[in-house]
Amino acid sequence: MIELKHIYYTIMDNEKEKTLLNDINCTFYDNCITAITGQNGSGKSTLTKIIMGILSPTSGKIYFNGKDITDTTVDERAKMGITYAFQQPVTFRGITIKELIDIASKEDNSLSKACEYLSRVGICAKDYINREFDKTLSGGEQKRIELALTLAKGGECVIFDEPEAGIDLWSFDKLNEIFEKNICYIVVSHQSRLLKRADKILVLENGKVSNFGNSNEIIDKLQKYKCKLVRED
């Protein structure tokens, strides 16, 4: 369980202080998929990077299973069981996908076990297992492989920043399948199919929480917005 208490995040913009997150208070529960949505620039990715420790809040506290982790590093949080999948995957020249799976899972996987991770995200493992994770892969291929690496890492809390970005429509079914409710999932998304898969939805607007509750209730509210946040495609 992740708890955020009075989280603020400010930056200097043209010598003026700009608040990107303004008094965020919310709880992300175990055995629950929580989606974060909102218009571009509302603070979604900033919030997840603060949870992961990539960014440090200007003020406020972050708790993981009751422990204050506000001042811990990314590595420390990863060791605790918090995992992060970036919107734009980082590629690695000279390292095969099999080697990356071994690094992510911290074990020397059998070929069949490594292939399981790739199969879960809709990839024919035999075509990719010995390839390098580099720019020769398409954006959609990179995204799905990064999702496989995230599955291999495991953890008690897994954060996905727009996991649907760059993947084809067929992959949505596979994407939905990877969310098991035995851990805490935090998913940044605009897509209605992923939002409907969530148990709870947190809506950010100008760095503030404008809505937070059960997915059905929040989706009904979003669909009434003149400028909809939810995309059907």
Identify the structural domains of the chain with CATH numbers, from first to last.
2-222 (3.40.50.300)
pLDDT at position 169 is: 47
Integer Cα distance of 104 and 145 in angstroms: 12
pTM of the full structure: 0.80
pLDDT band at 186 (very low <50, low <70, confident <90, very high): very high
Over residues 126-136, the pLDDT tens digits come to 788 888 887 78
DSSP states along 54-113: SS--SEEEEEETTEE-TT--HHHHHHHTEEEE-SSPPPEEEEEHHHHHHHHHTS---HHH
Integer Cα distance of 204 and 21 in angstroms: 9
pLDDT band at 166 (very low <50, low <70, confident <90, very high): low
pLDDT over threshold 50, residue 170 = no
Which residue type is seen at 15? Answer: E
pLDDT at position 181 is: 61
For residue 16, the surrounding DSSP H or E stretch is: strand 16-28
pLDDT band at 85 (very low <50, low <70, confident <90, very high): confident
pLDDT band at 191 (very low <50, low <70, confident <90, very high): confident
User: Looking at residues 123-149, what average pLDDT do you find?
Assistant: 81
pLDDT band at 48 (very low <50, low <70, confident <90, very high): very high
pLDDT over threshold 60, residue 168 = no
pLDDT band at 165 (very low <50, low <70, confident <90, very high): low
pLDDT over threshold 90, residue 219 = no
pLDDT at position 180 is: 65
Residues 6+ apart with CB under 8 A from 140: 166, 167, 168, 171
pLDDT at position 103 is: 87
pLDDT over threshold 70, residue 3 = yes
Tell me which residue has tokens 């303004």. 22
Average pLDDT, the chain: 84
Which residue type is seen at 166? Answer: G
Longest dimension (CA), the chain: 55
Check residue 126 and report its DSSP letter.
G
pLDDT over threshold 70, residue 182 = yes
Which residue type is seen at 5? Answer: K
Integer Cα distance of 150 and 100 in angstroms: 11
pLDDT band at 46 (very low <50, low <70, confident <90, very high): very high
User: Looking at residues 53-64, what average pLDDT do you find?
Assistant: 96
